[in-house]
Amino acid sequence: MPPSLYQATFEMKSFAASLILFCYTLLGLSGKAEANPTCRNIPGSAGFPSPGTWDALNSTVSGRLVKVVPFAKYCHSLPGGACTDEQWTSALFRSTIPGAMDQVNWEQSYDSTPPSLCLRNATTCGQGDVPLYSVEAETVADIQAAVKFASKHNLRLAVKSTGHDYLGRSTAAHSLLIHTANMRNITFADEFLIGNHSVGSAVTLQSGVHIRDLYQAGKQNGKIAVSGAAATVSPAGGYIQGGGHSALSPTYGLASDNALEFKMVVANGDLLQVNNMSHPDLFYALRGGGSGSWGVIVSATFRTFPTFNASTSIIILAASNNDAAATLATVHAQHIFDMDSVRGAQYFYFLKNSTDTNAPTLLALVSYIPNTTTSQNLAALTPFLNASLALPDISLLTQNLTYGDINDVLLLQADDSVGTNTVLGSRLIPESTYRDSPATVGQVYKKLLDGGSKVILGHMVAGGKVAENANISSAVTPAWRTAKAHLVLTNDWTDSASLEEIDTLRKHFQTEQLPILEAMSGPNAGAYSNEADPLEPDFKTTLFGPNYAKLSTIKSKYDPADLFIVAAGVGSERWDESGLCKV
């Protein structure tokens, strides 16, 4: 999701962050691992490596093994004894620290007995769900050594590029981490070869490269690749394995529709070249089959296109109460196809800073349209704006237009603002809902807002080429191909929330919000696995649809011992929530 909007909302102080928290449950571990041979080795288990054995791994990886420190503790070690607010909220800064996650709740273990927390201003610090050791990988050999070590010693393994993950999948308690943040090569090719066949121009990104690095290099090379509306997400890390949506998706499809090849280290330590001719089954899985379940990506190659100019508009409307916001949502639904002919994409965020039904809701709209000027952009939005501003209780707060190289337009700012306790829940909304029953949309928004939901994020990044690509053979759930938007609800809390409040909030999407949202999505609808609730009870269907059985078979072939297990990922049904013991 575009950081600009978070920025905008922070600037307007409209995120008086709600008061509670969540967590992704970790099991109480005491003694269980030792007694049960189906558990991973943890400190205290007979099979856990000795200090000397860790030292030997450290030599193998040229001294790049580190003990992982939770982020808040790392902050305490800085001169002055604290991180600044800028450091705390900077995704760029966090990406350099092995113990950091962007949503800080994933660093905590709320459910262990006692809870193991490392909060910003606390005087004590537990390791929580932060890994024990990390290999700060710089080479393929580093990754291979770490994978073999984890396998040989039956360790819980985690893989991280940036720590952006909304499901907490790039951290794990008692684990060895493979951190690919330092692998940052970018290589353009005019004629990328698969076998001996050229598939045209492409860019190869190592898995530590950030989106902003891609866009900056793309501009210099006159190329654009399909990637996200963020600065610091890793395109060749979690983003691509989830499928990857983009403001360019209505024009060029999902990022995974444009992936040509991967280099990856699989569970047996082999480095594989993965494309449509070599390991095509794994190639299928890596494009939408879920982040973190397949191995360690060294690099991914994406198709590129010549750059072009594009326009963006940032428009913020205010609805003075929930009824007005609901009417606005209906009007928005009626106009959601307005930009189809120009392949526009739009992020539409309903944001409130209060649970009062008579308090205002903001609708922030960021609309991207390729090959258009700012006035053409505004013209495309005018029917919607006119209809909205004709309503009572709706006003226009700001309107800002930009134009230029698509790489610049997509990179609205240099960093992403993170560092909160946040969980998500989501559904892909079928195009048919918007086409056939826009009034339902308003009714759903009304119920969500009346129920206290403060953030309803809309990503209009489907339709167009995403739908046209329906017959591409990849693991992307077919729900994407018939969707018009992905709707994401967030629930967040501050560090003062009680464990009970946190527990309620982490279940809030399933218990309170989803039953309302299903009037729009339909029952058993799909969700985008990178922006989802890890507690989805039927994650196989929700995140992977009819592809799960095939993905499960591919998983058994490349990772027969389940070395790569993540929340709501393929094979995770065989493991407890911590990924430490088989169930």
Which residues of the shown chain bind ligand FAD in the complex (CB under 6 A)? 1, 3, 102, 159-166, 169-170, 180, 207, 228-230, 233-234, 237-239, 241-242, 244-245, 291-292, 296-297, 416, 530-531, 566
The answer to the question of residue 402 lying near ligand NAG (CB under 6 A) is yes
Closest distance to ligand FAD from the beta carbon of 583 (Å): 20
Token digits of residue 318: 């205010």
Nearer residue to ligand NAG within complex by CB, 39 or 272: 272
What CA–CA distance (Å, rounded) separates 471 from 246?
19
- Which bin fits 571, alpha (ψ -120 to 50), beta or left (φ > 0)? left
Integer angstrom CA distances of residue 47 from 35, 41, 151, 204, 578: 12, 6, 12, 39, 19
What CA–CA distance (Å, rounded) separates 295 from 286?
10
**Residue 185 interface partner, choices ligand FAD, ligand NAG, none, CB cut-off 5-8 Å depending on type:** ligand NAG
Closest distance to ligand NAG from the beta carbon of 306 (Å): 7
What CA–CA distance (Å, rounded) separates 314 from 292?
34
Closest distance to ligand FAD from the beta carbon of 485 (Å): 13
The answer to the question of residue 197 lying near ligand NAG (CB under 6 A) is yes
Residues binding ligand NAG: number (CB under 6 A): 41
Site for ligand NAG in 280-339 (CB under 6 A): 308-309, 318
**Of 331, 359, 336, which is closest to residue 449 (Cα–Cα)?**
359
The answer to the question of residue 13 lying near ligand NAG (CB under 6 A) is yes
Nearer residue to ligand NAG within complex by CB, 14 or 25: 14
What CA–CA distance (Å, rounded) separates 398 from 40?
54
Nearer residue to ligand NAG within complex by CB, 355 or 400: 400
- Dihedral sign (CA 76, 77, 83, 89): negative
Nearer residue to ligand NAG within complex by CB, 27 or 378: 378
The answer to the question of residue 277 lying near ligand NAG (CB under 6 A) is yes
Burial class (CB in 10 A: 0-12, 13-18, 19+), 386: exposed
Closest distance to ligand FAD from the beta carbon of 436 (Å): 27
Token digits of residue 297: 């990506």
The answer to the question of residue 7 lying near ligand NAG (CB under 6 A) is no
- Dihedral sign (CA 129, 134, 139, 142): negative
E strands, 240-308, in order:
259-265, 271-274, 296-303, 305-306
**Residue 242 interface partner, choices ligand FAD, ligand NAG, none, CB cut-off 5-8 Å depending on type:** ligand FAD
Closest distance to ligand FAD from the beta carbon of 51 (Å): 27
Closest distance to ligand FAD from the beta carbon of 164 (Å): 4
What CA–CA distance (Å, rounded) separates 299 from 63?
23
Closest distance to ligand FAD from the beta carbon of 161 (Å): 3
The answer to the question of residue 124 lying near ligand NAG (CB under 6 A) is no
Which run of H or of E encompasses 441?
helix 438-450
Burial class (CB in 10 A: 0-12, 13-18, 19+), 582: middle
The answer to the question of residue 65 lying near ligand NAG (CB under 6 A) is yes
**Residue 297 interface partner, choices ligand FAD, ligand NAG, none, CB cut-off 5-8 Å depending on type:** ligand FAD
Token digits of residue 381: 């939005």
The answer to the question of residue 273 lying near ligand NAG (CB under 6 A) is no
First to last CA, the chain: 35
What CA–CA distance (Å, rounded) separates 274 from 516?
41
Site for ligand NAG in 152-191 (CB under 6 A): 185
What CA–CA distance (Å, rounded) separates 130 from 150?
16
The answer to the question of residue 16 lying near ligand NAG (CB under 6 A) is yes
**Of 2, 12, 81, 1, which is closest to residue 402 (Cα–Cα)?**
2
**Residue 58 interface partner, choices ligand FAD, ligand NAG, none, CB cut-off 5-8 Å depending on type:** ligand NAG
Per-residue contact string for residues 515-544; x = within reach of ligand NAG by CB under 6 A: ------------------------------
**Which own/partner contact pairs does 55-59 have at CB distance under 8 Å and 24+ positions apart?**
57/135, 57/145, 57/146, 57/149
Which residue of 112, 161, 251, 388 would you call a contact of ligand NAG, by CB under 6 A?
Answer: 251
Closest distance to ligand FAD from the beta carbon of 118 (Å): 18
The answer to the question of residue 498 lying near ligand NAG (CB under 6 A) is no
- The stretch near ligand NAG (CB under 6 A) out of 160-168, 196-204, 324-332, 432-440 is 196-204
Which residue type does 445 have? Answer: Y
Nearer residue to ligand FAD within complex by CB, 93 or 166: 166
Residue ranges that bind ligand NAG, judged by CB under 6 A: 13-14, 16, 58, 63, 65-67, 82, 85, 120-121, 139, 185, 194-197, 199, 251, 276-277, 308-309, 318, 353, 360, 362, 370-371, 382-383, 386, 400, 402-404, 468, 470-471, 495
